[in-house]
Amino acid sequence: MHRQFFQPVRVYARQPVWEPPVDVFEDERGVLVVVALPGVKPEQVEAAIDGNDLIVIGVRTPPAEFRTAEIHRLELPQGRFERRLRLPAGRYADVRRSFADGCLLVLLSKVGPGRD
């Protein structure tokens, strides 16, 4: 089965971007969003909550030492990316962000009635 991991999307500014794949896990304590961003530096990524959505925006650039190199194969998307995804219903208090194994991890802790 063919699965397209990175598909081009359009944003409000009409700039072409790529969309990284995500996994979303939920339990009674909270929600974990895992965004696959191999080769992206943490300082090149922004993550924000906008209403019921998580928005992840950033940029992937080739390593500085290879920016003028001849490219033989370029399968990882380069340039600006954006991923917007609807979060599971609930209220979230604490939001933690970290990077591990080429992935952005966003952990949202549940509060109130949404926490069963």
User: Which residues on neighbouring strands pair with residue 34, listed in sequence order?
Assistant: 23, 105
CA gyration radius for the chain? 16
The pLDDT tens digits of the residues spanning 7-65 come to 444 444 556 689 999 999 999 999 999 999 999 999 999 999 998 999 999 999 988 88
Q: What is the pLDDT of residue 1?
A: 36
3-state secondary structure of 76: coil
Does residue 116 carry a pLDDT above 80?
no
What count of other Cβ atoms lies within 10 Å of the Cβ of residue 97? 15
The predicted model gives 2-11 an average pLDDT of 42
pLDDT of residue 2 exceeding 80, the answer is no
Would you state the pLDDT for residue 64? 86
- Residue 54 tokens read as 């998580």
Task: Kindly report, residue by residue over 54-109, the tens digit of the pLDDT.
Answer: 999 999 998 888 888 999 998 999 999 999 999 999 899 889 999 999 999 999 99
What domains does the chain contain, in order, with CATH numbers? 13-61+79-114 (2.60.40.790)
Say which amino acid occupies 93: A
- pTM to 2 decimal places: 0.80
